[in-house]
């Protein structure tokens, strides 16, 4: 914990991994390892360790917080929502988790709305003979429209 709090993340990870080889069920060690990975920006490792923590101790609040934060940063809405529900069940008065859950609901509805609207218009399609290649400018135009859609969805997903 001292190495982690001082910012010596590599040393903290090494010590924690060595200790967990001998005591794989040590929940506090796993929680600190998950927290260290999260602080290092290693979100996949953080989420896996957080899952191990909550699997070993379903009432570990630190484990659920790291679980939620890691999956939220990864962009896994379903696991983030699951973790928030578990956290709010354990700590019903957690205003930060409640606010995050509300924001997540708004994000989910904003992300799901474009799926309900048509993605393209019939005028965008052109019938061509088989084997005939579209001109290069049409390909570039199509790719630009696709890029705009991808960027729009990414902005909605991150907000």
148 to 75, 142, 153: CA distances (angstroms): 20, 10, 9
Question: pTM higher than 0.75 for the full model?
Answer: no
Three-state DSSP state, 9? helix
User: Can you read off the two tokens belonging to residue 152?
Assistant: 């729009």
Q: What is the pLDDT of residue 1?
A: 83
For the stretch 133-155, pLDDT in tens is: 556 667 777 777 777 777 676 65
- Cβ atoms < 10 Å from Cβ of 43: 18
What are φ and ψ of residue 133, in 5° steps? -90, 140
Which residue has 């996949």 as its token pair? 44
pLDDT of amino acid 119: 52
| Low-confidence residues of the chain: pLDDT under 70 | 105-137, 151, 153-159
pLDDT value of residue 132: 57
What is the Cα–Cα distance from 133 to 110, expressed in whole angstroms? 37
* Cβ–Cβ < 8 Å for 62, 35: yes
């Amino acid at each position: 914990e001292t190495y982690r709090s001082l910012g010596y993340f590599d040393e903290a990870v090494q010590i924690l991994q060595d200790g967990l080889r001998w005591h794989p069920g040590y929940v506090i060690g796993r929680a600190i390892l998950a927290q260290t990975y999260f602080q290092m920006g290693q979100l996949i490792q953080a989420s896996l360790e957080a899952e191990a923590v909550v699997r070993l101790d379903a009432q570990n609040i630190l484990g659920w917080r790291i679980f939620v934060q890691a999956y939220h940063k990864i962009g896994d809405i379903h696991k983030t929502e699951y973790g928030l529900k578990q956290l709010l069940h354990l700590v019903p008065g957690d205003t930060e988790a409640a606010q995050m859950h509300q924001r997540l609901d708004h994000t989910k509805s904003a992300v799901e709305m474009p799926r309900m609207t048509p993605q393209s218009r019939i005028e965008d399609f052109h019938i061509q003979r088989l084997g005939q290649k579209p001109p290069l400018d049409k390909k570039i135009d199509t790719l630009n429209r696709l890029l705009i859609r991808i960027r729009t969805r990414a902005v909605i997903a991150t907000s």
